[in-house]
Structure 1
Amino acid sequence: MTDRLLDERRDVVVVTGAGGMGTAIARRLGSGRTLFLAEASRGQLDRAVAALTSEGYAVHGVPTDVSDRASVEKLAEEAAGAGRLAAVVHTAGVSAATASARTILEVNLVGTVHVIDAFAKTATRGTSLVVISSMAGHFASLSREDEAALATAAAEDLLGLDAVAAVGDDATTAYMVSKRANHVRVEAAALAWNRRGATINTVSPGVISTAMSQAVAESPNGEHMLRMIDECGAGRTGTPGEIAEAVAFLTGPQARFVAGTDLLVDGGQAAWMRRHMRR
């Protein structure tokens, strides 16, 4: 990023993850703002930054591994130094179709806590943080005691919790637990963010047309997933643009009274699973 762009002191938007959802959200929120795009894959980051720059966005790519606390803290400090932090949207994550249980827990679970903790230090009045979770988090089987521990344990203690250790090598269960942990972590963090005049929420997408969902569709569970989309009545997958619109709402002035909650954007699939799906 040039010094000129930094000197303009525009509002700052941070997006972690340069995949389909991340880039759609960056496009939706980034106009007229300084955009920080964070991604672990340097190649993917460079391609996304080049595309956004060619479209006129003032974008700064920051190689970031969300599972590494120091990496996330560096990102938060750089973003806070560039202007008023308007929004942080955490989309970085991995799926059960592409990663091991251990990696899922390190990225989706611990990485999300690193993002919440790091940006809590730099959030100011009007800052909004949105964590992209998943519809899958609504179907994790956890006790109230397990959820309380996931909501409050220090990042370095999370992998040792009973509910996390019980996951073993089951990547699907790891994904569901990590995404439910996102929900309860945000609920627990909402009080501190409210006291700063800031907001924190989650968005839980259903099946969205991204490279990650394509990998899931091609996995052994893919046929079942696609059949449920039809049976719930939606008849299609969602688009990254629809997630971007939900995030725009939660980070905009019309949602200042929305805090510590989850917004399902799944075409009604979760409702169908709860009320209509044959067990």
Structure 2
Amino acid sequence: MQNRTDDACDVVVVTGTGGIGSAVARRLGSGRTLVLADAFREQLDRAVDSLRAEGYDARGVLADVSDRASVEQLARTASGAGRLTAVVHTAGVSAATASVRAILDVDLLGTVYVIEAFEKVAVRGTSLVCVASVAGHMASIGAEDEAALTTAPAENLLAVDAVTALGDDDTVAAYILAKRANLVRVQAAALAWNQRGARVNTVSPGVISTAMAKAEADGESGEHMLKMLDACGAGRPGTPGEIADAVAFLTGPEALYVTGTDLLVDGGQSAWIRRHMQDG
């Protein structure tokens, strides 16, 4: 059963159909038009079919967040489907499975494209949440480079000194840099979104039980990552549903006065790194 054509439906957009994206779609999509976007047709179709089978009004849009024109088309399509209520940007790649260039194209530039494209179509009440990472809180970047990452036009970002200094194999450093950029770009974007009566925030997950996290755990740093979860007292990774709950808060009525900030959801891992790791 679809929405009546005379109803002004609320629209929720989710980029990325992985573990977090799917959890967010289910958490926010009930009674709304759900626009899912992914760069891979098979994965997108599978996610849409699954959600439709569960009663969601889901539709898929093939979109590559590393392509500005593709993101702008997604924004136009979504805004034309009804009242743009929430946009949740979960699409991304990891240091364990992607190249430096892919990380910069998808995690860094892709997030900038999403912020800018959806700001153009945001209406009063629209809330954008970009999924960043605890890694962004671990970055050590000079003030000049951070200022450039915060405000430089997208076409100039890959020329920032901190970016050009990355080696071809520095995937972890590239990921940390990209996620730091996510945090500061959202801070800088908050003014423009506020002026439209809209909001923009980030969520920074720690280790979450997804396919991407499994790839990290199976990689060179996996054992260290799992030991840190025990050392910080969490004793387990988080679940996609816990990130979806955080997103639901930031896109909901309880967070109307929350914008331009980050919600860290990491089981206390970053606090342990800052305040206790040296004691171990």
TM-score by length of 1: 0.97
Write out aligned runs for 1:76-225 (5 A). Answer: 76-169=75-168, 170-225=170-225
The secondary structure found in structure 1 opposite 2:37 is strand
1:256 and 1:166 map into 2 onto residues whose CA distance is 39
**Residue in 2 that maps onto 1:249:** 249
1:144 and 1:81 map into 2 onto residues whose CA distance is 40
AA matched with 1:234: A
CA contact (8 A) 1:15 1:26 kept: yes
2:194 and 2:75 map into 1 onto residues whose CA distance is 19
AA matched with 1:188: A
The secondary structure found in structure 2 opposite 1:87 is strand
Q: How big is the shift at 1:145?
A: 1.3
Matched, 1:237 2:208: no
Deviations 1:251-270 (A, max 9, x none): 00110100100000000000
Deviations 1:26-61 (A, max 9, x none): 000000000000001111111100100000000110
Aligned-pair identity in percent equals 69
CA contact (8 A) 1:167 1:173 kept: yes
CA contact (8 A) 1:5 1:34 kept: no
Q: How big is the shift at 1:9?
A: 3.0
Unaligned runs of 5+ in 1: none
1:5 and 1:116 map into 2 onto residues whose CA distance is 30
Q: After the TM superposition, which of the residue ranges 268-277 and 138-147 deviates more from structure 2?
A: 138-147
CA contact (8 A) 2:2 2:57 kept: no
Q: How big is the shift at 1:278?
A: 2.3
The secondary structure found in structure 2 opposite 1:278 is helix
Aligned residues: 278
Q: How big is the shift at 1:3?
A: 8.9
AA matched with 2:145: D
Q: How big is the shift at 1:8?
A: 3.8
Q: How big is the shift at 1:157?
A: 1.1
1:222–1:134 Cα change, 3 Å: same
Deviations 1:98-141 (A, max 9, x none): 10011000000000000000000000110000000000000111
AA matched with 2:108: L
CA contact (8 A) 1:5 1:58 kept: no
Deviations 1:52-97 (A, max 9, x none): 0000000110111000001000000000001110000000000000
Unaligned runs of 5+ in 2: none
CA contact (8 A) 2:3 2:9 kept: no
The secondary structure found in structure 2 opposite 1:82 is coil
CA contact (8 A) 1:68 1:111 kept: yes
1:53 and 1:173 map into 2 onto residues whose CA distance is 39
The secondary structure found in structure 1 opposite 2:277 is coil
1:6 and 1:155 map into 2 onto residues whose CA distance is 38
**Residue in 2 that maps onto 1:26:** 25
The secondary structure found in structure 1 opposite 2:146 is helix
CA contact (8 A) 2:13 2:35 kept: yes
1:107 and 1:229 map into 2 onto residues whose CA distance is 27
AA matched with 1:22: G
AA matched with 2:183: H
Write out aligned runs for 1:253-272 (5 A). Answer: 253-272=253-272
AA matched with 1:270: S
**Residue in 1 that maps onto 2:61:** 62
CA contact (8 A) 1:206 1:267 kept: yes
1:271–1:78 Cα change, 3 Å: same
1:100 and 1:5 map into 2 onto residues whose CA distance is 45
